[in-house]
Amino acid sequence: GLSEKLNETFKRLRGKGRLTESDVKAGLREVRLALLEADVSYKVVKDFIAKVTDRCVGSDVLESLTPAQQIVKIVNQELTELMGGSNARIATASKGPTVVMMVGLQGAGKTTNCAKLAGLMRRQYGKRPLLVACDVYRPAAITQLQVVGQQLDIPVFEMGQGDPVQIAREALKYASDHGNDIVFLDTAGRLHIDEQLMDELKNIKESIHPHEILLVVDAMTGQDAVNAATAFDEALGIDGVLLTKLDGDARGGAALSIRAATGKPIKFVGTGEKLDMIELFHPERMASRILGMGDMLTFIEKAEQQYDEKQAKKLEEKLRKNRLTLSDYLDQLEQLQKMGDLSQIASMLPGNLGKSFDASQIDEKQMAHSKAIIQSMTVKERENPQILNASRKRRIAAGCGLEVVDVNRLLKAFEAMQQMTKAMTKGKMRGMGAMMGG
């Protein structure tokens, strides 16, 4: 992955001083390749690298991060910014039902995602959606909408193969009469953009005045997705994008290119064929995905915010001397608790790191127990856990109202953590290991 390549590039650089221009150039060469591999268009990559170079050169290498992490962090921040805000919502009507018009090429996922989005709106905002069959050319399209509507128990309005504008009008009346406060128009698509299709969509737009025109694009189609976005936006004017099929192996570079090409926000992403597989768009997650970094960056940021540099230094020192005590462990537990939802943090850690992070250690109740046990120890015991014999363990267990097995479990976890931090501080994750401490 990118992080290994970057680490390789920066092997000779220690975590001190400033990033020089040649360091940054070497590092960003890898980033550039990663972006191109992720299907970001050439021009976007070029502009982006130029911007990031400016920011990286001369920036201080933070004590807590390796130079590679530092560059990835800056790259990630810039990528996130380029993809826009994370709380893009769809517009709502001030009066009457909100009308969302779904447009896009054939096979992009309009019909499926009409239903998915309707389901999401009902689930998250308590909306009462109505789906409308405006793709009138193939009877199968109407049936498909009915099927997905039925699966989610969402009503579908159809008038067979009539005039889409007329159908949309009737559907709005129906929605008003039946208390549906959001209406999704499933429109026709073609394999390629053509004038006839655009005219029909423009016609619907001008007659119905939808509050939101949402373009559905298939993330797997790379540059074609970008071309489609540009064409639809120029001809019709779109308000946002729903990027589908992100469950595939597409790295999502299309998200970045589409945003750069049209300036329109990605609002939702489709992550699977099942009808609940839709999410709000999170630019920071997408940035990590494009870089192939898992949610590592989010973790680095969280850790940075919460961790006191001095404490990190002290801990590193202790680890070097192999003198990690239970008092440090207690500090670490408290530090981790401050970082927020622990299971969420564990899930952000990439690959093996995430796995070696024993879930029982981050269980909140377990942590409360661990704290109670350590607090029942004398200072001498905390500093020298090896003196904990059977009678001391009995006393400690009694002191905190737990059992000797609980004390043993804690000591085991402590030992495991010592092993893990040792391995981490030795490896490339120098700063991270210190920050985590468990």
Annotated binding site: 104-111, 186-190, 244-247
Identify the residue whose tokens are 């250690």: 361
Residue type, 190: R
Nearer to ligand GDP by Cβ, of 78 and 200: the residue is 200
Nearer to ligand GDP by Cβ, of 23 and 218: the residue is 218
Binder among 73, 205, 211, 245 for ligand GDP (CB under 6 A):
245
Q: How far apart are CA 247 and CA 253, in angstroms?
A: 14
Binder among 66, 227, 262, 271 for ligand GDP (CB under 6 A):
271
As given in the structure block, the two tokens for residue 147 are 């099927």
As given in the structure block, the two tokens for residue 246 are 């992100």
Nearer to Mg ion by Cβ, of 148 and 353: the residue is 148
Site residues, Mg ion (CB under 5 A): 110-111
Nearer to ligand GDP by Cβ, of 66 and 112: the residue is 112
Interface of this chain with ligand GDP, residues 189 to 218, rule: CB under 6 A: 189, 216
Binding of ligand GDP by 3 (CB under 6 A): no
As given in the structure block, the two tokens for residue 366 are 């377990």
Residue 170 binds which entry of ligand GDP, Mg ion, none, with Cβ cut-offs from 5 to 8 Å by kind? Answer: none
Interface of this chain with ligand GDP, residues 60 to 119, rule: CB under 6 A: 104, 106-113
Residue 258 binds which entry of Mg ion, ligand GDP, none, with Cβ cut-offs from 5 to 8 Å by kind? Answer: none
Binding of ligand GDP by 155 (CB under 6 A): no
Closest residue to ligand GDP in the complex (CB): 270
Shortest distance (Å) from residue 201 CB to Mg ion: 14
Residues with Cβ within 8 Å of residue 328, at least 6 apart in sequence? 315, 318, 437
For residue 145, the number of C-alpha atoms closer than 13 Å in the C-beta half-sphere is: 28
Provide the 3-class DSSP secondary structure of residue 240: strand
Contact 70, 154 (CB under 8 A): no
Residues with Cβ within 8 Å of residue 27, at least 6 apart in sequence? 6, 9, 10, 56, 67, 68, 71
Nearer to ligand GDP by Cβ, of 135 and 284: the residue is 135
Residue 332 binds which entry of ligand GDP, Mg ion, none, with Cβ cut-offs from 5 to 8 Å by kind? Answer: none
Shortest distance (Å) from residue 286 CB to ligand GDP: 14
Shortest distance (Å) from residue 10 CB to ligand GDP: 37
- Using CA of residue 333, residue 334, residue 336, residue 342, what is the dihedral sign? positive
Nearer to ligand GDP by Cβ, of 112 and 370: the residue is 112
Nearer to ligand GDP by Cβ, of 64 and 187: the residue is 187
Contact 300, 406 (CB under 8 A): no
For residue 361, the number of C-alpha atoms closer than 13 Å in the C-beta half-sphere is: 25
Shortest distance (Å) from residue 102 CB to ligand GDP: 8
Q: Tell me the DSSP string of 77-110.
A: HHHHHHT--S-------SSS-EEEEEE-STTSSH
Nearer to ligand GDP by Cβ, of 57 and 220: the residue is 220
As given in the structure block, the two tokens for residue 305 are 């915010």
Provide the 3-class DSSP secondary structure of residue 127: coil
Binding-site size for ligand GDP (CB under 6 A) equals: 19
Nearer to ligand GDP by Cβ, of 220 and 339: the residue is 220
Stretch of 191-199, 233-241, 254-262, 269-277 lying at the interface with ligand GDP (CB under 6 A): 269-277
Q: Cα separations (Å) of 208 from 44, 87, 98, 100?
A: 35, 26, 11, 10
Shortest distance (Å) from residue 120 CB to ligand GDP: 13
Binding of ligand GDP by 244 (CB under 6 A): yes
Binder among 272, 292, 350, 354 for ligand GDP (CB under 6 A):
272
Q: How far apart are CA 204 and CA 163, in angstroms?
A: 10
The annotated binding site for GTP is made up of 104-111, 186-190, 244-247
Interface of this chain with ligand GDP, residues 288 to 317, rule: CB under 6 A: none
Q: Tell me the DSSP string of 260-324.
A: HHH-PPEEEEE-SSSTT-EEE--HHHHHHHHHT-TTHHHHHHHHHHH--HHHHHHHHHHHHTT--
Shortest distance (Å) from residue 144 CB to ligand GDP: 6
Residues that bind ligand GDP (CB under 6 A): 104, 106-113, 189, 216, 244-245, 247, 270-273, 277
